[in-house]
Amino acid sequence: MTAIIRAAEWTLGSETAEGAPKEPLYESECTTCGEQSGATEGERLPAEVWALKHTGANPAHRTYRAIITSFWRVVPSEGNPYRELEAP
């Protein structure tokens, strides 16, 4: 059986599940060699310092990709039939 819901409201917000990061993750990636700083939660300074040190050790490596990762969740709003299926 297939059901079509023509008008159902949803809410987009931060992921709040246990174990999910509470703050964005920050990371740097060297676009010359692909090496990465590793991610830190809620603090961008370690990724920035890593990029500066990486260039210090590799003077020709001067461009980086700033990777900022946030986690979201979509939940049914009040009146959405799927709300009844949500776990308490």
For residues 47 and 26, the answer to whether their CB atoms sit within 8 Å is yes
* Residue-wise pLDDT tens digits, 55-82: 999 999 999 999 999 999 998 988 888 8
Return the SS3 of 66. strand
Residue 83 binned pLDDT confidence (cut-offs 50, 70, 90)? confident
Percent of the chain residues past pLDDT 70, beyond the cut = 89
Cα–Cα distance list, 87 to 7, 10, 13, 17, 68 (Å): 22, 16, 17, 12, 30
* Residue-wise pLDDT tens digits, 4-43: 556 678 899 999 999 999 999 999 999 999 999 999 999 9
Nearest CA-CA partner of 52 in 40, 38, 37: 37
Tell me, rounded to whole angstroms, the distance of Cα 55 from its chain centroid: 26
